[in-house]
Amino acid sequence: MDASLSSQPSQPGGTAGAAAATCAAVLVAAPASGQGKTTVAAALARLHARRGRRVRAFKCGPDFLDPHWLALATGAPVHSLDLWMTGEADCRARLHAAAAESDLLVIEGVMGLFDGDPSAADLAQRFGLPVLAVIDAQAMAGTFGALAFGLQNFRDGLPWAGVLANRVASERHGQMLKDALRDPSQWLGALPRDARFTLPERHLGLVAATELGDALSRLDAAADVLANTPLGRMPVGELPQVRFEAPASDESQAAPPLLAGRTIAIARDAAFSFIYPANLDVLTALGAKLSFFSPLAGDALPACDAVWLPGGYPELHAQALSACEPMRESLAAHVAAGKPVWAECGGMMALFGELALQEGGEVHRLWGLLPGRVTMQKRLAGLGPQQLSLGSHVLRGHTFHYSSCETPLEPVAHTARPGATQAVGARAGEALYVHGPVRASYFHAWFASSPQATARLFGAMPIELESHAAFDQA
């Protein structure tokens, strides 16, 4: 590992005189998705956490599933870092705060190292995060060296930590891979193919760690193997040290208490688990009291002023959700009282009248607060960053789903891709439906991008579109 990285600075941007924070940090990246980034990142975090080190993990880009594994490895909340969705100032503030209280930061990349705009490589260069490249080497030998060289040198000035081979067949195979590197000092070791630490997947990504009874033992098995690699044998003090400048004082502003005195009931269980911890922080900062409930557990809707139905996997629990008659009735009473509901992606799916698991397949009756049917499909129906304009305020976020909906409702707005012009009725992105006090979309919002717009979603004041026509009387 390049010793020069010990003095690698992050981009300037802190207030003069503010204390910078320095600690070990790596960004775990790969040539593509499915190479094993989460396994390596979580194993590295778990290894050092077991050694008594203070470890914090982050996920590059929008993601609800990989953070479950990183949180299990570290025992701490895992926040997203995205130069567009969360913003540079938010990234800087979170990295600085974590570095000030940690011995090691592990940031997991997204897709391939240079994929997306912004990419994981952009984040690495912006904050001086050394890249640890994970390459699935199960079907290669000498080409491993070409891939490693290309990742390191494709862009000038990219901070680099080294390369680790994943799914290696044997010790001899590992030696062939190491010999393929132009610079053997870049070799950080190899992990074998091993069912003990395989992380299972489904259509939206990894199965959440909370769904597996042996999740921690899988991470421990991976950490045990990693401990015998050059990377794992390296004390935390010998990992690349990164200096994180403090954020400028004007980059952190308190959210106005627009939701003070309001209670927001939030569905949270295996069917509704796509919740950014930062979104909860924003609601609390806006003054809201949060009350959680589990439809799958048969919980009643708590007394509340507004409801949030987050995304998740309603399609995996359609039969159970269909049987939640008390929840259907209590939500209907909530809506009849004119109280707001914000339903995103999976939360919206549960509100439609029917859910077809596949076209022509099994159909389940759901909660019926939105007219129409949702149909699961094999192909991805929506993916990528999106933004939603509510008057003068813009919420940033993303979309990722394998279903489509048929409804007589006319969208009141659509989201747009970053940089695109949004107009009412435009079909550049996801539809926003409004049905009484229910607001619903496939769009996943990052609340911190606009606390004011977030407060509007939960009924703090009427929502206005770019045309300034209010569609909400809550």
CB 121 within 8 A of CB 155: yes
Residue 384 pairs with which residues in a beta bridge? 399
Amino acid at 64: F
Is residue 134 within 8 A of residue 28, CB to CB? The reply is yes
Quote the Cα angle for 113-118-124, to 5°. Answer: 55
Active-site annotation holder among 23, 304, 324, 345:
345
Q: Which residues pair with 466 in a beta bridge?
A: none
3 state SS of 376: strand
Widest distance between CA atoms in the chain: 70
* Structure token digits, residue 84: 């567009």
Indicate if 345 belongs to the active site: yes
First to last CA, the chain: 58
Going from the C-alpha of 123 to that of each of 10, 13, 38, 141, the distances in angstroms are 10, 15, 17, 30
| DSSP letter, residue 116 | S
Under a CB-based contact definition with an 8 Å cutoff, are residues 41 and 49 in contact? no
CB atoms within 10 A of CB 202: 12
Q: Which residues are catalytically annotated?
A: 345
